[in-house]
Amino acid sequence: MGYKVQPTDVVKYGNKVLNPEKMVYVLLNKPKDYITTTDDPEERKTVMELVADAGPFRIYPVGRLDRNTTGLLLLSNDGELAEKLTHPSNNIKKIYQVELDKPITEEHFDAIQAGVELEDGFIKPDDLGLVTPDAQVVGIEIHSGRNRIVRRIFEHFGYEVTKLDRTMYAGLTKKDLPRGKWRFLEPKEVVKLKYLI
């Protein structure tokens, strides 16, 4: 009891030798209208349908994105890494591009940058910037994993978020990854992810 199996150990069940499951890391550029879950009783579209051809691996979403949020989502069967990436104490960076229903005022921009008191506590982005000259698209860097946090920050000041896209997650970007497509992480990216924490 309590013995941790070493990579050099041979584990048998009856006469059958058990092979450790191969760790798989899939990066998806999630489109709108897919929910981040492994299955849905209401039979809505799930992200698992998009990565179905990634192989016979049982992979799970790491964290979540709202149905209407697009962008980077990591899926893996590495439970230990998934737990570390989603734990708030590890301050994993995420960058979002936020499209608003109207231009953000300088006053609200400064207020968000300084930090906002929401119903579940204070939140201060790590960085904030204007993406378009009309001030209607804003970039926000944040490490909080609180539910709908980016939308709630802007809603607090009376803006409606018309589009929300996660453009960076834990150092991974959407470079060469079209919406709705996925790719396996390269070994060096996996090493970087593990080194982050």
Query: Which residues are known catalytic residues?
Result: 66
Identify whether the C-beta of residue 69 lies closer than 8 Å to the C-beta of residue 33.
no
Burial of 9 (0-12, 13-18, 19+ CB in 10 A): exposed
> H or E element: which one contains 113?
helix 106-114
> H or E element: which one contains 139?
strand 137-142
Q: Which residue do the tokens 């049982």 mark?
A: 58
CA separation for the pair 83, 159 (Å, rounded): 33
CA separation for the pair 33, 47 (Å, rounded): 9
CA separation for the pair 121, 131 (Å, rounded): 27
Q: Which residue do the tokens 């191969």 mark?
A: 22
CA separation for the pair 176, 94 (Å, rounded): 18
